[in-house]
Amino acid sequence: MNVDLVNLKMVCVHVVNSYSDKPETGFNSYKIPDIRCSKPLIYNVKKNDQLVFLQRMLDVKIDNKEINLSLPNEIGLSLNIFTKARDEAENLLKKLKKDMGKNKDFYSENVSLFYDYIEQIQIACVFSYKAVEAFCNATIPNDFIYKKINPKGIQEIYEISQIEKWIPTSEKLTEIMPKILNCESPKEIKYWSMFKELETLRNEIIHSKKKNSIENTKKMLSKNILNTLNSSIYILNHFIQKDISNEVFPLGFLDTKWRIYEIDDPKKIFEWTHWA
């Protein structure tokens, strides 16, 4: 398919009239179409007593046909891919355990089950880690400056694009995220060591080396692998609970809460409905 981005704009997807009369029921009338969507921006227009939901939309042209697409949340996409692969791996593991009770050798037709399991573990590992990586990059403000002293005692200064490219995800989690979200480092939580195992395995899957092949297969077949994969959820929980209404965070995570902006003039809404 030939795809061209035409425009990025804001579209009004839901309006609650007489909002002050029904703040709870009116607010809950909005139905999330898919947890992979970006969070809507919500405005309480006081002059009209309305609650207005704006969604980021992509105008794209696919094979010369114009389509309006709700902008996905990259963290949500990664989490969805991860959980699907993890759940499939769990189902395959149950079948494997039954087969292992009957067979000792896996080298002909029955070896496919093992390979399917390893494939799903690899997918889950990569996207479990990617969800955390995407979370860090989405949360860092565009004007954020990160300063650190390198091993030679020289101060290094990183802007947002350099942070995204050069600072490891684990360093973003321990040194940058706590400053932005005003919370403690995840090093102190139970699942940090498991996340480090996830990071190592992910790097070895992406940057595979012949000498690590056997050891990586052993890790993917270990009884602790599902806990390792799930460590990303606990890391995200640690941060998201500090600012659960943040628009860059994914939907369907913890109890969804919303940030409502109050404005007086409804004309402002129309000024925001199209982005260049």
Structure tokens at 3: 């795809």
pLDDT at position 274 is 47
Tell me, what DSSP letter sits at residue 173?
I
pLDDT of residue 27 exceeding 70, the answer is no
pTM check: above 0.75: yes
User: What is the enclosing helix (H) or strand (E) of 73?
Assistant: none
The alpha carbon of residue 131 and the mean position of all alpha carbons in its chain are separated, in whole angstroms, by 4
pLDDT one-digit tens code per residue, 77-131: 999 999 999 999 999 999 888 877 666 666 666 788 889 999 999 999 999 999 9
Whole-number average pLDDT of the chain: 88
* Cα dist from 39 to 73, 141, 252, whole Å: 8, 17, 10
C-alpha gyration radius of the chain: 23
pLDDT one-digit tens code per residue, 157-178: 999 999 999 999 999 999 999 9
Q: Which of 128, 44, 138, 56 is nearest to 86 (CA)?
A: 128
Alpha-carbon distance of 9 to 62, in angstroms, equals 17
User: What is the enclosing helix (H) or strand (E) of 163?
Assistant: helix 160-166
